[in-house]
Amino acid sequence: MGKTLFDKIWDSHVVDTIEDGPSVLYIDRHLIHEVTSPQAFAGLDKRGIPVFRPEKTVATADHNVPTEDQHLSIKEELSRLQVEKLAANTVKHGITYYGLGSEDQGIVHVIGPEKGITQPGRTMVCGDSHTSTHGAFGALAFGIGTSEVEMVLASQCILQTKPKRMRITVDGQVRKGVTAKDIILYIISQIGTSGGTGHFIEYAGPAITALDMEGRMTVCNMSIESGARGGMIAPDETTYNYLHGTRYAPEGDAFFQKVEQWKKLHTGKDAVFDKEYQFDARDIEPMVTYGTNPGMGVKITGQVPQPEEIPGASRGSYNKALQYMELKPGAPMIGQKVDYVFLGSCTNGRIEDLKAFAHFVKGYKKSGHITAWIVPGSKKVEQQARQEGLEEILREAGFEMRQPGCSACLAMNEDKIPRGKYAISTTNRNFEGRQGPGSRTFLASPLTAAATAITGRITDPGTFHP
Amino acid sequence: MSIPQFTTLNSTAIPLPVENIDTDQIIPARFLKATSREGFGENLFRDWRYNDEGSPNKDFVLNNPAYGGQILLAGKNFGSGSSREHAAWAIIDHGFRVVVSSFFADIFKNNALNNGLLPVQVREAFLQKLMQAVQSDAQTSITVSLEDQTIRFAGGQESFEINAYKKHCLLNGLDDIDYLLKQKDRIEAFEQKQLKT
Ligand code: SF4
């Protein structure tokens, strides 16, 4: 019987399996950031052991960093100390570090792919749940906790129980105005925030393979929002073209030899999945969330659901969410007033996202009452946006580009949505307080964010006539 | 190094009948700036536990003096969202040894086990029964035995699953890193093999 893509990579990285227990899985690349690594390094120190394979770990500072005046020292003391700790730990252990001021700095899940650290067939981990992003390249990538970060630093391996396999196929093609973000928000609204738990997802089908790498990353990024350990997409020409010429990809002939190996990384015809879902791309419209978890999404042309539409057991969370969001059952999503627009994060802070947003707002003006934060995912995205004239277009429309980092995605720096305010956000989580204490989040695509930024109210980018 | 051992726990419980409690609720991101594992308990469930101006929210169960104990009872899909291990540290730092729910998010479960916090997954019906018992009598005593893999109270008993290896680690207070460090030879042999392909 044929193997799934997931099985091929997993099985070829098993060093050993404990009877009735987890496997020892070898990790090809380990990414770290300032928030989830200090206790792991402290653990190594306590044991008096070094990092086993420092050349296989790459570090960046992203969660805590300010998005203005990055050339100055970080104002907030605890944030500064945490970033300094990371810098010191990487020096001590000989780990490559892309810190503030480096031309390579950026959100960990944006820089891994753009530098070619992320490659098909690799196992990758990071102390961060959105490590699933890297699966877009046909890598086996998943988020881990700090104790596990310590395991990988100590041994380049992790003890892990093999998840089950799930395939989600999206047939047909999406219509204009529907983006990768809408596809994944739609999927999560259908399978729920625990629908993927215990599983590793492979996304397949024409609507998925038609996506560019940025779109594929957006889809894989939010796998964790369905509870899945990770998501992946088989590599193809789109993948190879993206990687060709990136810093860490093989050069010259070696690249094409690699491609021949990568071509074997796909699910066999008769391979079996533990669970399968099939969706039709034509059912997908621009999506927006109304509640406080990413599964609470509806078509933008829809309404806040009525209590009767919610299964009994979930009614409690639903009531709590509406109370927090101050929304009424049956209220239409289109036309809801918005105060903040946030374009950024490892979900939608890549160059194609900035491009889509900028082209949409070109020739219009930002609504007067909207505060907009446009935060590129990395220094490279920032530079490219400048070179390609996107910054100029944005400026003319009344938007300002900030400096790279996680920013208002989790509000660990100064970029916090104020209490009670509504934000339309291209990020991945609408949890209570996620974007700042008391903040209220509508998750949506860059196009929906752009249309909304112009009108000041939730607006369908497909039928936008200002 | 080691994790705290777990064998049997006899305790009252604190009921939190909310589904989908994500790790941003357990410990909000703005409190993740420490570089040690201690002290996170103070900010456990911060935004539910305190009012906007910082006074304790009397309606939140952790502020209700009637309830106490080392067991947290929570609704379905506990620990979803961010992989932050700080969530497990905060729960432990507050004094819990067990979380009971009808469903746990994967990364949270691993993080809990790696720190000696036992996630006990039970059927929804059992959880509801237990939740009601504790809500009507805060003194309800609950026994969790890791050896037998059972949880019981006056109103019922249920067994729970745990991976045999993790059970062994928890019963003996062993951690995964010690295990991995002993595998160095095999890991190096694997690297050699990988270089050739
Ligand atoms: S952008 Fe948001 S989701 Fe992505 S790594 Fe940063 S905080 Fe996490």
Q: Are A90 and A30 in contact (CB under 8 A)?
A: no
Residue-range domain boundaries for chain A = 1-285, 287-463
Atom of ligand 1 nearest to the CA of A33: 5
pLDDT at A466: 57
Q: How far is B118 from chain A (nearest CA, A)?
A: 16
H-type alpha helices, chain B: 23-26, 46-49, 86-93, 106-113, 124-136, 164-172, 176-181, 184-196
Instruction: Supply the DSSP symbol for B29.
Output: G
Structure tokens at B192: 């050699």
C-alpha A7/C-alpha A157 separation (Å) is 17
Q: Which residues contact A450 (CB under 8 A, 6 or more apart)?
A: A343, A356, A357, A360, A361, A461
* Residue positions counted in chain B: 197
Residue A428 CA: which ligand 1 atom is closest?
3
Give the C-alpha separation, B47 to A325, whole Å.
15
* Distance in angstroms (rounded) separating the CA atoms of residues B20 and A385: 38
Sign of CA dihedral A6, A250, A26, B2: negative
- Ligand 1 mean position to A448 CA, how many Å? 20
Question: From the CA atom positions of chain B, what is the Rg in Å?
Answer: 18
3-class DSSP state of B136: helix
Rounded to whole angstroms, the Cα distance separating B146 from A451 reads 55
CB A197 within 8 A of CB A460: no
**Chain A residues inside the 8 Å CB shell of B167:** none
CATH no., domain A1-285 = 3.30.499.10
Q: Which of A142, A217, A345 to mutate to test the pocket of ligand 1 (most atoms within 8 A of CB)?
A: A345
Residue A103 CA to ligand 1 center (angstroms) comes to 19
Q: Which residues contact A139 (CB under 8 A, 6 or more apart)?
A: A9, A118, A119, A120, A121, A122, A123, A124, A232
CATH of domain A287-463: 3.30.499.10
Segment holding A383, helix H or strand E: helix A379-387
Beta bridge partners of A32: A59
Cβ-Cβ contacts under 8 Å for B190 (sequence gap 6 or more):
A15, A26
Instruction: Let me know: does A354 contact A393? Beta carbons within 8 Å.
Output: no
* Pocket of ligand 1 from Cβ distances under 6 Å: A 62-63, 107, 109, 128, 130, 345-346, 406, 409-410, 427-428
In 3-state terms, what secondary structure has residue A148? helix
**pLDDT of chain A, 466 residues: tens digit per residue:** 799 999 999 999 999 999 888 999 999 999 999 999 999 999 999 999 999 999 999 999 999 999 999 999 999 999 999 999 999 999 999 999 999 999 999 999 999 999 999 999 999 999 999 999 999 999 999 999 999 999 999 999 999 999 999 999 999 999 989 999 999 999 999 999 999 999 999 999 999 999 999 999 999 999 999 999 999 999 999 999 999 999 999 999 999 999 999 999 999 999 999 999 999 999 999 999 999 999 999 999 999 999 999 988 788 899 999 999 999 999 999 999 999 999 999 999 999 999 999 999 999 999 999 999 999 999 999 999 999 999 999 999 999 999 999 999 999 999 999 999 999 999 999 999 999 999 999 999 999 999 999 999 999 999 886 5
CB A431 within 8 A of CB B81: yes
Please tell me the predicted confidence (pLDDT) of residue A20: 85
Structure tokens at A70: 């990055």
Cα dihedral angle (A211, A215, A219, A222), rounded to 10 degrees? 180
Output the pLDDT for position A465.
65
What's the ipTM? 0.95
- At residue A337, what are phi and psi to the nearest 5 degrees? -70, 140
Distance from CA of A172 to the nearest CA of B (A): 30
Q: From the list A42, A145, A438, which residue is nearest B36 (CB)?
A: A42
Phi, psi of A105 (to 5 degrees): -70, 155
Smallest Cα distance from B185 to chain A, Å: 10
> pLDDT tens across B53-85, in order?
899 999 999 999 999 999 999 999 999 999 999
Q: How confident is the model at residue B1 (pLDDT cuts 50, 70, 90)?
A: low
Each residue's pLDDT tens digit, B5-59 = 999 999 999 999 999 999 999 999 999 999 999 999 999 999 999 998 899 999 9
| H helices, E strands: number in chain B | 8, 8
Question: B116-139 pLDDT, tens per residue?
Answer: 999 999 999 999 999 999 999 999
Q: What is the pLDDT of residue B196?
A: 86
Alpha-helical segments (H) within A94-229? 108-114, 146-155, 180-191, 206-209, 213-221
Output DSSP code: residue A423: E
For residue A88, count other CB atoms closer than 10 A to its CB: 13
Buried b (16+ CB within 10 A) or exposed e, B139-161: ebebebbbeeeebbbeeeebebe
Q: Please tell me which residue of chain B has the smallest CA distance to A312.
A: B19
Look up the pTM and report it.
0.96
Decide if B114 and A193 are in contact by the 8 Å CB cutoff: no
| Distance from Cα B162 to the centre of ligand 1, integer Å | 31
CA distance A104 to A235: 25
**Same CATH topology for A1-285 and A287-463?**
yes
A317 contact residues in B (CB cutoff 8 A): 18-20, 75
What's the rounded Cα separation, in Å, for the pair A188 and A181? 11
